[in-house]
Amino acid sequence: MPSAIEQLRDAIAGAQTIVISGHKGPDGDCIGAALALRHGLKSIGKEVTVFSNDEVPKIVRFLDPGGSVIHLATESDAERAGQGQWDLGILVDVGFTQRAGRAEPALLSAETLAVIDHHEIGPEASGEIRIIDPSASATCFILSKIFRDIGLSVDKNAATCLLTGIVTDTGSFRFRNTDEESLAEASELIRLGADLPRISEEVWDSRPMSAIRLLQKAFYNLKLLSGNRLAVTHLGLEDFVDAKDEDSEGIASEIARIEGVLVAAVFREPHSERVRVSVRSRGDIDIAEVCRKFGGGGHKNAAGCTLTVGVLAAMERVIPELERCLESS
């Protein structure tokens, strides 16, 4: 029985057309992984298409100056994409095709589907080929480790894409998932030409004013609960008139920085009655479990969920669960 890595290597070797997508609400890891694969696959002559349910977030747009990621904005885009006959589909940074949103039909139309992910997803994950390692700091870390084994070579551009995923998912090597291996892999990627100063500049130090305004509002709405161990804030529909949801990226981590706070949650309603909740925790407090109760998921210390109610109703439902989680740990 060939290993999953061997299976993917063979599937790539045998494929001419390849479709790639990450999850809805793409982040640096998911876009970095998709574009690194695109670079590697194109350099060996494959026809590669990268789809995304949502636009590439601004912080990682520098990875795709040619705009190669195709944004599937409507259901008819999704349908058309699903008619392309792909030899191989690759889903990155998520375990279920459903979470690829409008890119799902394209992935499902592929003859073979591979999944590369670092989330805790269980045996019911999508794909015939699964390369899944929940202990990995980032999907880009996994990908970087296996890149050569699946028949691809890491050029400068691919190295920058891969390092971007590791940098964003580890918060520039500050989060608890930062391990010796991630640092070693990052070092190897820098040796291969990855541009770390550029990544840092684009990812952390190029925030649009609209994002700072959201942060301002989030701090204004900040409340400390459960004996100052739970920090909660919210952004309502009206706060997103001049801002996009991606502008609220990073607010949860910002709130979680407060001394003594063990759990931090941001509730935001960028679209009416669709509240996205981002939760961060410290130490052994597993907030992914709380998010799973609401149909979401993630990692022990960084997770999220979406509720189809207004922002205040979402807070009423989730906050007691977070308080319970704090009390029991």
Distance CA 60, CA 57 (A): 6
Site string for Mn ion, 138-157 (x = CB under 5 A): -x------------------
Say whether 180 sits in a helix, a strand or coil: helix
Give CA–CA dist 262/226, Å, rounded.
Answer: 10
Helices within the chain (DSSP H only): 4-14, 28-42, 75-81, 104-109, 139-146, 156-169, 180-191, 196-204, 209-220, 251-255, 287-293, 311-328
SS3 of 297, please? strand
Site residues (CB under 5 A) for Mn ion, limited to 23-62: 29
Smallest distance from the beta carbon of 121 to Mn ion, in angstroms? Answer: 12
Binding segment for Mn ion among 36-44, 98-106, 165-173, 182-190 (CB under 5 A)?
165-173
Identify whether the C-beta of residue 95 lies closer than 8 Å to the C-beta of residue 119: yes
Closer residue to Mn ion (CB): 54 or 239: 54
In the complex, the smallest distance separating the C-beta of residue 169 from Mn ion, rounded to whole angstroms, is 5
> What's the one-letter identity of residue 97?
T
Least CB distance to Mn ion at residue 250 (A): 15
Give the shortest CB-253-to-Mn ion separation in angstroms: 14
- Shortest separation between residue 260's beta carbon and Mn ion, angstroms: 28
Which is nearer to Mn ion, 291 or 319 (by Cβ)? 291
29 or 249: whose CB is closer to Mn ion?
29
3 state DSSP class of 213: helix
Distance of closest approach, residue 10 Cβ to Mn ion, in angstroms? 26
Specify the residue, 91 or 230, whose C-beta has the smaller distance to Mn ion.
91
- Residue 300 C-beta: closest distance to Mn ion, Å: 14
Tell which phi-psi region holds residue 86, choosing left (phi > 0), alpha (psi between -120 and 50) or beta: beta
Whole-number minimum distance, CB 29 to Mn ion, in Å?
A: 3
Q: How many residues does the chain have?
A: 329
CA atoms of 313 and 273, how far apart (whole Å) = 9
Give the interface segment with Mn ion, choosing from 1-9, 135-143, 212-220, 318-326 (CB under 5 A).
135-143
CA–CA dist 49, 165 (Å, integer) = 19
Give the interface segment with Mn ion, choosing from 74-82, 137-145, 282-290, 315-323 (CB under 5 A): 137-145
Q: At what angle do helices 139-146 and 180-191 cross, to 10 degrees?
A: 60
Distance of CA 269 to the CA centre of its chain: 19
Q: Which one of the spans 12-20, 63-71, 131-139, 321-329 is the region binding Mn ion (CB under 5 A)?
A: 131-139
> Which residue minimizes CB distance to Mn ion?
29
Check residue 169 for interaction with Mn ion (CB under 5 A). yes
Residues 56-95 binding Mn ion (CB under 5 A) are 93
Site size toward Mn ion, by CB under 5 A: 4
How far is it, in rounded angstroms, from Cα 165 to Cα 147? 14
Report the interface residues with Mn ion, using CB under 5 A.
Answer: 29, 93, 139, 169
